Homo-oligomer: A and B are copies of this chain.
Amino acid sequence: MKILITGFDSFGGEKMNPSYESVKKLPDKILGWEVVKIEIPTVINKSMDKIVNNIKKIKPDVVICVGQAGGRSCITPEKIAININDFAIEDNEGNKVVGEKIQQEGDDGYFSTLPVNKIVEDLRKKGIPSDISYTAGTFVCNDVFYNLMYYVKKNKLNIRCGFIHIPFVFEQVVDKKNTSAMTLEMITKGLDNVIRTVIQNETDTKSNLGTIC
């Protein structure tokens, strides 16, 4: 069994992006599953193209995309991807999509098929702050999340997938007023734990994919 996990390169003037920094620190095997880690660009379309190419090549059972939500205080699995791009800033190649549907034929929203409640519960048990988020924003993170759910559904793939937002790391906020952060170590430990929860839940609920939460 295989899991594909992605992190973004840096954006918005930040020098680094802890999403891929933490993803690349994950072990190559967790609970017997192969963990394939890739970096994707913070660029509309190119990010999803790279994911699709890797899904075709690797044939994963689970895909988890990880992005940064600067300012949040904890690790937040996203509940829903929505069918709109409305960028407040440019992506890394200067694209700024305002008020457009992502997929003309897509539903307004798609729920994550990861066990988001269980992920939160398990992280808290490990002493890692976590909460469900009901909005992944309207920038590249939500775009990738939405396109991933749409692609899997349209092609009737048996892949469980979703999106996890992580906070800033402390290095990014040394002189920011009242801004929450985590250590890279805690984020990495958190993502390791997320994968464990997903794997254990995968085994348990294979028969009724999509009805969790």
Stretch at the interface among A30-38, A45-53, A59-67, A130-138: A130-138
Find out whether the CB atom of A181 lies under 8 angstroms from the CB atom of B73: yes
Instruction: State whether the Cβ of A54 lies closer than 8 Å to any Cβ in chain B.
Output: no
Instruction: State whether the Cβ of A200 lies closer than 8 Å to any Cβ in chain B.
Output: no
Find out whether the CB atom of A80 lies under 8 angstroms from the CB atom of B108: yes
Q: Scan A171-194; emit 1 where CB is below 8 A from any B CB, else 0.
A: 101111111111101100000000
With a cutoff of 8 Å between Cβ atoms, the chain B residues found around residue A79 in the complex are 82, 84
Q: Scan A127-155; emit 1 where CB is below 8 A from any B CB, else 0.
A: 11111001101100000000000000000
Known: A178-B180, A179-B73, A183-B183. Is A170-B134 also a contact (CB below 8 A)? no
Q: Scan A75-115; emit 1 where CB is below 8 A from any B CB, else 0.
A: 00001101110000000000000010000000111110000
Interface residues on A, range: 35 or more
* Identical chains bound together, number: 4
With a cutoff of 8 Å between Cβ atoms, the chain B residues found around residue A209 in the complex are none
Known: A99-B117, A134-B82. Is A175-B124 also a contact (CB below 8 A)? yes
Can you list 14 A-B pairs, Cβ within 8 angstroms, ordered by A? A73-B179, A79-B82, A80-B80, A80-B109, A82-B109, A82-B111, A99-B117, A107-B109, A109-B109, A127-B170, A128-B170, A129-B181, A134-B138, A170-B182
Binding site for B on A (CB under 8 A): 72-74, 79-80, 82-84, 99, 107-111, 117, 123-124, 127-131, 134-135, 137-138, 170-171, 173-183, 185-186, 213
- New A-B pairs, 18, CB < 8 Å, besides A79-B84, A109-B110: A73-B180, A73-B181, A80-B82, A80-B108, A83-B111, A99-B117, A99-B213, A107-B109, A109-B111, A127-B171, A129-B170, A129-B181, A130-B174, A134-B135, A135-B135, A179-B180, A183-B183, A183-B185
